[in-house]
Amino acid sequence: MYNSTDSFNESWQNETNEYNSSYYDEQNENSVNETFVNDINMSSSELDLNNQTNNLTNSTLDNITIEGLLDEVNYTDFNIVNISPTLVAVGDNLFTIEIENTGSTTIENLIPLVSGYGFSSYKTIPIKELLPSERDLAYVFAQLNYESEVILTVTINDKTEYFTINVLSESQAVNESIIIDENEQLNITNRLYLLEDDYKTMQESIKKMEKDYFVNDIDLKDLKDYISRSKLQLLSGNLEQANISLVLAEEEFLDLNNKLVSAKKKSIFDTIKDNILLISTLAGAMITLYTFYEFVKRKQKGLYKKIKEFKVDPNTKIEVLKRFKKDSKEEKQDTNNNKE
């Protein structure tokens, strides 16, 4: 009786211990599984948040268009640099106003309006076209009536600058050696104005003729340099050097004009060859763009595949939990076998 009771108690105690051990193991397993699932859900949430952030970034980048960037890059601005001369005599004078294009677009028809005490302008030669980063001169013919220090107001479009000049009497001007040959100054100015028009006309003619004529060897760089040099020398009051540079510019223009008039017309064969060359160049560019497009496309697919593989779905969670439970049970069985 005593032995039977002890045996029963011992058996009951073993079953209780086994039940408690199984219960706590299951609780621990559930706790571990819950922690693991929470970690997976947290990683999935972080991934979704990253995807949302990337989508927002891509959406923002898509809104930045090329046109918008170009609008920011292309702007119009210029500076009224100076006016010359600043020491003149009473009477008729020619003033040059230097203007610099500080923007990124070509500016047309820059017409200076000049006013001041005793200052009466009667003729203005504007700048017809000013390319970005270039400087050019506008001309104002005016009569000054009084001997004094005069503040001139120079306005072009929406910009205004102020310059101070000193007006002397004729006798003072002679003593200061500032009287120059006004007729020569006017002559150089008019010739420069006409030559600039011819220069721009020649530019347009070359562009129109380059399709049907051999005009690629006609270079206008020297002509442009001579014109610019003559302007600067005129600005400094050096009429002799200004005239020399202008003569060189006029001779250069005549030589270029002769080349343009005698330019050889392209034959049908030359035209076909040029077209083939153009087509080949375009084809090469298209092939390059297509190759680059395919390369980017493959890169995007690879990146998408990696992101897709990284995403955790419910099926993956279940599979991980099953494997985790299976491994826990196997480990438990191994422990019991070792005890036995």
Calculate mean pLDDT across residues 233-247.
Answer: 86
**What pLDDT shows up at residue 212?**
83
148 to 86, 186, 213, 237, 316: CA distances (angstroms)? 12, 24, 59, 21, 94
- 337: confidence class by pLDDT, cuts 50, 70, 90: low
* Greater model confidence, 233 or 30: 233
Residue 150 confidence (pLDDT) above 90: yes
**What pLDDT shows up at residue 61?**
47
Q: What is the pLDDT of residues 8-25, one digit of tens each?
A: 455 555 555 555 555 455
Q: Distance from first CA to last CA of the chain, Å, rounded?
A: 29
Residue 304 to residue 317: CA distance in whole angstroms: 21
Mean pLDDT, all residues of the chain = 75
Looking at mean pLDDT, say which of 7-11, 109-113, 231-235, 275-279 comes out highest. Answer: 109-113
Q: What is the pTM of this model?
A: 0.52
Max Cα distance, the chain (Å): 153
Residue 1 confidence (pLDDT) above 50: no
Joined tokens for residue 31: 């706790």
The 3-state DSSP class for residue 133 equals coil
**What pLDDT shows up at residue 22?**
53
**What pLDDT shows up at residue 152?**
96
